[in-house]
Amino acid sequence: MATIDERKIEEIVSKVLERLGGGGRPSSTGEAQRLTTAHVPETPRPRANIPRGTNGVYADPDAAAKAARKAFEANERTSVATRIKMVEAMRKAVLANNDALSRYAVEETGLGRYEDKLNKNRLVAEKTPGCEILRPQAYTGDDGLMLTERAPYGVMLAITPTTNPTETILCNAIGMVAAGNAVVFNVHPSAAQTCSWCVHILNEAIQSVGGPRDVLTSVEKPTVESANALMKHPLVRIVVVTGGPAVVKAAMNSGKKSICAGPGNPPAVVDETANLKKAADAIVRGASLDNNIVCIAEKEVIAVDAIANGLIEELKRQPVLWLNDRQIRDAERVVLDGDHVNKDWVGKDAGLIAKAIGVSGHGHDLRLLMCEVTEDHPFVQHELLMPVIPLFRTNNAPDAIAAALRVEHGFHHTATMHSTNIDNMAAMARVCNCSIFVKNDASYAGLALGGEGYTSFTIASPTGEGLTTAIHFTRERRCTLKDSFRFV
Lowest average pLDDT, out of 17-26, 82-91, 374-383, 434-443, goes to 17-26
Stated length of the chain: 488
Regarding beta strands 474-481 and 144-152, do their DSSP bridges make them parallel or antiparallel, or are they unpaired?
antiparallel
- Under DSSP, the state recorded for 130 is -
CATH number at residue 439: 3.40.309.10
pLDDT per residue as tens digits for the range 352-398: 999 999 998 888 899 999 999 999 999 999 999 999 999 999 999 99
Residues 274 and 239 in one domain: no
Q: Please list, in sequence order, all residues whose beta carbon lies within 8 angstroms of the beta carbon of residue 386, skipping any fewer than 6 positions away.
A: 291, 292, 293, 335, 341, 345, 346, 347, 348, 353
The C-alpha atoms of residue 423 and residue 398 are separated, in whole angstroms, by: 11
Residues 113 and 154 in one domain: yes
pLDDT value at residue 361: 82
pLDDT band at 3, cuts 50/70/90?
A: low
Number of domains in the chain: 2
- Under DSSP, the state recorded for 48 is P
Residues 15 and 122 in one domain: no
Residues 284 and 420 in one domain: yes
pLDDT value at residue 47: 52
Residues 295 and 285 in one domain: yes
The C-alpha atoms of residue 151 and residue 75 are separated, in whole angstroms, by: 12
CATH number at residue 249: 3.40.605.10
33 is a domain residue: no
Residues 130 and 186 in one domain: yes
pLDDT value at residue 134: 96
Lowest average pLDDT, out of 72-81, 295-304, 366-375, goes to 72-81
Lowest average pLDDT, out of 12-26, 313-327, 467-481, goes to 12-26
Is residue 6 scored above 70 in pLDDT? no
pLDDT value at residue 423: 97
155 forms beta bridges with 182, 236
User: What's the chain's average pLDDT?
Assistant: 91
User: How many helices (H) does the chain have, and how many strands (E)?
Assistant: 16, 20
36 is a domain residue: no
Residues 206 and 271 in one domain: no
Is residue 9 scored above 90 in pLDDT? no
| Average pLDDT estimate for 427-431 | 96
Position with higher pLDDT, 76 vs 22: 76
Residues 446 and 396 in one domain: yes
The C-alpha atoms of residue 60 and residue 64 are separated, in whole angstroms, by: 6
32 is a domain residue: no
Residues 323 and 228 in one domain: no
- Sign of torsion, CA 101 106 112 116? positive
Position with higher pLDDT, 60 vs 3: 60
Q: State the residue range of the domain holding 428.
A: 6-20+264-453
**φ, ψ of residue 393 in degrees (nearest 5):** -105, 155
Residues 110 and 186 in one domain: yes
The C-alpha atoms of residue 256 and residue 250 are separated, in whole angstroms, by: 11
pLDDT band at 11, cuts 50/70/90?
A: low
429 is a domain residue: yes
pLDDT band at 314, cuts 50/70/90?
A: very high
Lowest average pLDDT, out of 254-268, 326-340, 472-486, goes to 472-486
48 is a domain residue: no
pLDDT value at residue 365: 93
364 is a domain residue: yes
The C-alpha atoms of residue 425 and residue 439 are separated, in whole angstroms, by: 7
Is residue 41 scored above 60 in pLDDT? no
425 is a domain residue: yes
pLDDT per residue as tens digits for the range 176-204: 999 999 999 999 999 999 999 999 999 99
**φ, ψ of residue 217 in degrees (nearest 5):** -130, 160
333 is a domain residue: yes
Position with higher pLDDT, 2 vs 406: 406
Residues 239 and 331 in one domain: no
Is residue 230 scored above 50 in pLDDT? yes
Position with higher pLDDT, 45 vs 470: 470
| Average pLDDT estimate for 270-283 | 98
Residues 64 and 194 in one domain: yes
